[in-house]
Amino acid sequence: MEADEWMAELTSGSARARMARLLLKMRNPSQPELSTLFSRDDIGSMLCMTMETASRTINAFQREGKIASLDTGGRFYQVDSDALEAEIVNAD
């Protein structure tokens, strides 16, 4: 049941809201300011969007200062949880 709820959250709303929810869900429990993502292909599949949309959304969040990449592979991010939460609230 929890998995169904998790997937429902990640597949509804705007692309920006879905990405924000994923970034928040993927936070490290011991370091909640850090989030680890999958490949852009996997993110697209999980969030029901194209790889290109996933990439554009991540890049937009970086430009806006909501996340900051911590590696060259684009898997590890420092996240501004408040800004991501606001993204979800503003989309709904």
Given pLDDT bands bounded at 50, 70 and 90, which one contains residue 8?
A: confident
Contact in structure between 79 and 58 (CB atoms under 8 Å): no
Task: Considering only residues 92 and 19, tell me which one the structure prediction assigns the higher pLDDT.
Answer: 19
Q: Which residues of 37-48 are buried (b: 16+ CB within 10 A; e: fewer)?
A: beebeebbebbe
Count CB-CB contacts under 10 A for residue 56: 16
Judged by phi (left if over 0) then psi (alpha if -120 to 50, else beta), residue 18 lies in alpha
Contact in structure between 90 and 29 (CB atoms under 8 Å): no
Question: Residue 6: its pLDDT value, please?
Answer: 79
pTM above 0.75, yes or no: yes
Give residue-wise pLDDT tens across range 44-75: 999 999 999 999 999 999 999 999 999 988 89
Residues 6+ apart with CB under 8 A from 56: none
Domains of the chain with bracketed CATH: 2-91 (1.10.10.10)
Query: Residue 12 pLDDT more than 90?
Result: no
